[in-house]
């Protein structure tokens, strides 16, 4: 009997997913556990593991198209089975109110609109004729097929869909077809010196905006700054890396030293839970990593019981996966403390927004040579960087935050102090 293949929630915060690539094609045999496609979530590109068995009879959501969690993305059944009834459904129990505005469904080789519960503003956009805003506002040439997202991108950029070759199912134009540097077609000219572009917000960017807004406005932030000398730390790193083909990163050292400081100040390794403060039993430290369309925080677990080499080795693996959008949810969620380092970008100092469930985040600036007071009236040169600790005042009082940052600074200035 034919079954619907529905979009699953592949990350804790996922509400919609975009099909990045179909690994199976219509007519292929599918077994339980087969990877049938790759899905771009709000955080990473995840493999979709099938729970259905049979023949892939129809792909409903093509590559580059989005689907809400629970919406049908394909149909699996027996070879030659009649699936007309499934294709004819406008919105089944798994589809209603989950697909994006202006979504599409294939039915008997045609592309048809289906209705979803959308806000008035979104509904107004969904009802806009497919060619509105393109080539002077006219409809695209007859026979041109395009996904809703592709239509919106083309409308906002003034791209003539008739000049674009589609690579989606049945030659449909999808998002990636519009990311190849097509010139904007002639349309209403913007006012001189005020050209602008409307960029669709990705699911990842929406989640980042939502989570950071919640953190900033629910957790009362305060900030502590401390300048620390790093000459001894750099020398220790230089000695450790001597003769090593795989160099240990500065971030590996910072994570280990932060873990040691958290061991001495467990109140910083805690989380606000409305009626209780939860103190975590391990130091799971995240490092903010920039991606093309946002950022993600891979987490190195159990840093109290691991050495620098072990920590740095896993950190490198996690960063590679983060840059390739291959992190699993358990690899980027649940950091008890977070570090963000913009020193390589030439940033001297900055403040950061706390990454829940943690109650503190450490912002690391660029290491710079400077003069400082030496013994007596002498002047010495040193290398120093500025640390800025953002704290949730509900959990960490000012004095306790200062004690933690002072101890961490001492460990960075004199790494041997982390041993006692």
Condensed to tens digits (0 to 9), the pLDDT of residues 340-398 reads 999 999 999 999 999 999 999 999 999 999 998 888 889 999 999 999 999 999 999 99
Mean pLDDT, rounded, for 300-313: 96
Name the more confident of 129 and 31.
Answer: 31
Which of 139-148, 173-182, 278-287, 298-307 shows the lowest mean pLDDT across its residues? 139-148
For 101, 136, 245, 361, the CA distances from 110, given in Å and listed in that order, are: 18, 26, 57, 52
Neighbours of 234 (CB within 10 A): 14
pLDDT at 118 over 50: no
Helix, strand or coil for residue 225? strand
Mean pLDDT, rounded, for 246-270: 97
Listed in sequence order, the residues at least 6 apart from 324 whose beta carbon sits closer than 8 Å to its beta carbon are 45
**Closest by CA position to 90, among listed 113, 123, 67:** 113
Q: Considering the chain, what percentage of its residues have pLDDT values greater than 70? A: 81
- Amino acid 276: pLDDT: 96
- Amino acid 193: pLDDT: 58
- Amino acid 64: pLDDT: 87
Segment of 107-116, 132-141, 297-306 carrying the highest mean pLDDT: 297-306
Tokens at 378, concatenated = 């002498």
Which of 76-85, 97-106, 245-254, 405-414 shows the lowest mean pLDDT across its residues? 97-106
Name the more confident of 211 and 383.
Answer: 383
pLDDT at 143 over 70: no
- Amino acid 370: pLDDT: 94
Residue 397: active-site member: yes
Q: Which domains does the chain have, with CATH numbers?
A: 3-127 (2.40.50.100), 204-419 (3.30.559.10)
The catalytic position among 34, 231, 302, 393 is 393
Tokens at 31, concatenated = 């077994």
pLDDT at 121 over 70: no
Query: For residues 62 and 75, what is the distance between their CA atoms, to the nearest angstrom?
Result: 13
pLDDT band at 42, cuts 50/70/90?
confident
The catalytic position among 28, 82, 293, 397 is 397
- Amino acid 329: pLDDT: 87
Mean pLDDT, rounded, for 37-41: 89
pLDDT band at 148, cuts 50/70/90?
low
Tokens at 270, concatenated = 């805690």
Query: For residues 78 and 62, what is the distance between their CA atoms, to the nearest angstrom?
Result: 21
pLDDT at 59 over 80: yes
pLDDT at 415 over 80: yes
Residue 393: active-site member: yes
Q: Give the containing element (helix H, strand E) for 48.
A: strand 45-49
Which of 46-50, 144-148, 283-287 shows the lowest mean pLDDT across its residues? 144-148
Considering the entire predicted model, what is its pTM?
Answer: 0.64
pLDDT band at 261, cuts 50/70/90?
very high
Query: For residues 175 and 125, what is the distance between their CA atoms, to the nearest angstrom?
Result: 17
């Amino acid at each position: 009997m034919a079954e619907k293949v529905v979009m699953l929630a592949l990350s804790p915060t996922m509400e919609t997913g975009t099909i990045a690539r179909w690994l199976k094609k219509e007519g292929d045999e599918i077994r339980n556990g087969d990877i049938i496609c790759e899905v771009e979530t709000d955080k990473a590109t995840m493999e979709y593991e099938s729970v259905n068995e049979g023949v892939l009879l129809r792909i409903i959501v093509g590559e580059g198209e989005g689907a809400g969690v629970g919406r049908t993305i394909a149909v699996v059944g027996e070879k030659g089975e009649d699936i007309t009834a499934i294709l004819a459904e406008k919105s089944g129990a798994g589809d209603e109110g989950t697909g994006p505005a202006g979504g599409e469904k294939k039915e008997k080789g045609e592309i048809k609109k289906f209705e979803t519960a959308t806000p008035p503003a979104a509904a107004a956009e969904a009802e806009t004729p497919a060619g509105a805003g393109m080539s002077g506002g006219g409809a695209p040439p007859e026979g041109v097929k395009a996904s809703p997202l592709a239509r919106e991108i083309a409308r906002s950029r003034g791209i003539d869909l008739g000049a674009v070759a589609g690579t989606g199912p049945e030659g449909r134009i999808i998002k990636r077809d519009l990311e190849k540097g097509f010139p904007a077609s002639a349309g209403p000219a913007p006012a001189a010196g005020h050209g602008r572009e409307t960029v669709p917000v990705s699911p990842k960017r929406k989640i980042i905006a939502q989570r950071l807004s919640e953190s900033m406005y629910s957790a009362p932030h305060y900030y502590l700054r401390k300048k620390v000398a790093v000459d001894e730390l750099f020398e220790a790193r230089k000695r450790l890396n001597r003769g090593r083909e795989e160099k240990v990163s500065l971030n590996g050292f910072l994570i280990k030293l932060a873990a040691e400081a958290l061991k001495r100040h467990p109140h910083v390794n805690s989380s606000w839970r409305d009626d209780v403060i939860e103190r975590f039993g391990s130091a799971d430290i995240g490092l903010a990593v920039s991606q093309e369309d946002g950022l993600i925080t891979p987490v190195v677990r159990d840093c109290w019981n691991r050495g620098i080499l072990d920590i740095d080795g896993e950190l490198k693996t996690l960063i590679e996966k983060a840059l390739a959008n291959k992190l699993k949810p358990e690899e980027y969620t649940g950091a008890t403390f977070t570090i963000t380092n913009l020193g390589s970008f030439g940033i001297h100092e900055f403040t950061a927004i706390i990454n829940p469930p943690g109650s503190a985040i450490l912002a690391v600036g660029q290491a710079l040579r400077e003069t400082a007071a030496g013994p007596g009236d002498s002047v010495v040169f040193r290398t120093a960087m500025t640390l800025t600790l953002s704290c949730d005042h509900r959990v960490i009082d000012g004095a306790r935050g200062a004690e933690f940052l002072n101890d961490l600074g001492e460990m960075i200035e004199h790494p041997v102090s982390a041993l006692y």
